Amino acid sequence: MADRLLLILFLVSYLFVSGVTSRNITIENKCNYTIWPGILSGGLGPPTGGFALKKGEARVINVPSGWSGRFWGRSLCSTNSTGGFSCATGDCGSGKVECTGGGTPPVTLAEFTIDSNGGQDFYDVSLVDGYNLPMVVVPQGDETCSTVGCVNDLNPTCPDELRVRGNTSLMTLATPIIACTSPCEAFNSSEYCCTGAYSTPQTCVPTDYSRVFKRACPRAYSYAYDDSNSTFTCASQPNYVITFCPSSALNTTK
């Protein structure tokens, strides 16, 4: 017991002396329906997982310095007669509310690397894996750090060949569009996946499809090499708020 207490005291002292800090990432649901956020950790915690978030609810996730990972929202989820849980968009394949892996495309992703490269945070909202829900990321307490994401509903402007409609036995053109898949996922082509001969920034360039994504969501990644105006940094160690179905427009001037 004494050895365990000494170890705990050592760890606390180390974290204090080394300046290692943690951050809060608040996830809030402003959609008119329940969503099921998912988390995929790149290491250091919080653990990969998922939970339900009703309309108007929020949950705070604490992440340590050095953490990287992604957040997304699952929608149109249900439990079948044998207890299996699944979602029409963003499903993580666990069969449970708790995720054990990433979200199945098409899915809107918020991506973070905390306290990297001299204490800077890197963050973005990505549509590289397609789109399922509007989402913004807002740094707290520093107006010089950018709000990013996709406020607009991309589904109405999604090209016909990328549209994902609700899973019904009587699917028609009137069936609601629930997501917009990525051209890579739809066509499995090197040109759209930025692979093979198209695997460099010089050869993988914007396509008609990525331009549709960019027009609808100018503060989000539209394709694999959309780095120059879609990856953001913040050095002031802020907390962040991820909002699903935000009501206000993004300020694109900062």
Structure tokens that stand for 235 in this block: 């050095």
Q: What average pLDDT is seen over the chain?
A: 87
Consecutive H or E run containing 67: none
Average pLDDT over residues 186-207: 95
Residues 6+ apart with CB under 8 A from 227: 201
User: What is d(CA 103, CA 70) in angstroms, rounded to the nearest whole number?
Assistant: 10
109-116 and 177-180 strand pairing: unpaired
Of 58, 48, 59, 41, which is closest to residue 96 (Cα–Cα)?
48
Express as a percent the part of the chain with pLDDT over 70.
86
Average pLDDT over residues 201-223: 94
The pLDDT assigned to 170 comes to 47
The pLDDT assigned to 174 comes to 60
The pLDDT assigned to 168 comes to 54
The pLDDT assigned to 44 comes to 79
Query: Is residue 173 scored above 60 in pLDDT?
Result: no
Per residue in 62-94, pLDDT (tens digit) is 999 999 999 999 999 999 999 999 999 999 999
Let me know: does 120 contact 236? Beta carbons within 8 Å.
no
- Domains present along the chain, CATH in parentheses: 21-153+217-244 (2.60.110.10)
Per residue in 127-172, pLDDT (tens digit) is 999 999 999 999 998 888 999 999 999 998 999 999 999 865 444 5
Query: Is residue 100 scored above 60 in pLDDT?
Result: yes
Average pLDDT over residues 92-111: 96
The pLDDT assigned to 55 comes to 96
User: What is d(CA 181, CA 63) in angstroms, rounded to the nearest whole number?
Assistant: 30
Average pLDDT over residues 189-218: 95
Residue 228 binned pLDDT confidence (cut-offs 50, 70, 90): confident
Per residue in 11-46, pLDDT (tens digit) is 333 333 334 478 999 999 999 999 999 999 997 777
Q: Choose between 12 and 174: higher pLDDT.
A: 174
